[in-house]
């Protein structure tokens, strides 16, 4: 069966956010997904190889290189959103143009190993923070002006865990070619 562009763009489907607070067991599953993502992405990038990482994972899509640098860029922002929500009362986060960021010169000039190392260190800090949040802190919120939506940290955890798995699937698509 041939994959459609939508299948290639969203190989694990779209994120489904919870409408009620997560249980501690559900949170632990998502936190563990964030904890293991850097090592999984590194292994997938190695399996895929440098030549394949220079190719787009779908027609009109980013290259594997762009995807890996994108994950580091976005997860830095995600980590900061958590910190803002924990230290400010319902902050409005700042969106950014991910496509423009993917075209900046450092993406082409920087080895993907740099972003993979960045992710390893960043996720170490982020996961440590997440394991120490109280139930009340998980219900703190931020506002995303681009989507005109408020998110709890529970919802953000689900979204951001999905984001990593979503792009992991893109790298895996490249390794199958």
pLDDT in tens, 25-61: 999 999 999 999 999 999 999 999 989 999 999 999 9
pLDDT tens-digit map of 65-111: 999 999 999 999 999 999 999 999 999 999 999 999 999 999 999 99
Identify the band that residue 6 occupies on the pLDDT scale cut at 50, 70 and 90: low
Alpha helices, H only, the chain: 5-9, 24-48, 50-53, 64-87, 98-102, 105-109, 112-131, 135-138, 153-175
Out of 1.10.10.10, 1.10.150.20, 3.30.470.20, 1.20.120.450, select the CATH number for domain 21-175: 1.20.120.450
């Amino acid at each position: 069966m041939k994959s459609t562009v939508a299948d290639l763009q969203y190989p694990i489907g779209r994120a489904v956010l919870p409408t009620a607070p997560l249980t501690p067991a559900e949170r632990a599953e998502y936190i563990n997904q964030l904890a293991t993502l850097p090592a999984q992405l590194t292994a997938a990038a190695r399996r895929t190889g440098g030549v394949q990482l220079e190719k787009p994972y779908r027609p009109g899509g980013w290259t594997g290189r762009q995807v890996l640098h994108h994950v580091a860029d976005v997860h830095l922002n995600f980590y900061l959103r958590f910190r803002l929500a924990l230290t400010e009362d319902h902050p409005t986060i700042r969106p950014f143009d991910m496509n423009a960021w993917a075209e900046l010169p450092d993406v082409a000039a920087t080895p993907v190993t740099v972003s993979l190392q960045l992710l390893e260190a960043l996720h170490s800090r982020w996961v440590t923070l997440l394991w120490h949040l109280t139930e009340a802190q998980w219900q703190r919120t931020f506002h995303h002006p681009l989507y005109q939506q408020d998110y709890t940290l529970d919802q953000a955890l689900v979204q951001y865990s999905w984001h990593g798995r979503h792009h992991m699937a893109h790298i895996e698509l490249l390794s199958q070619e």
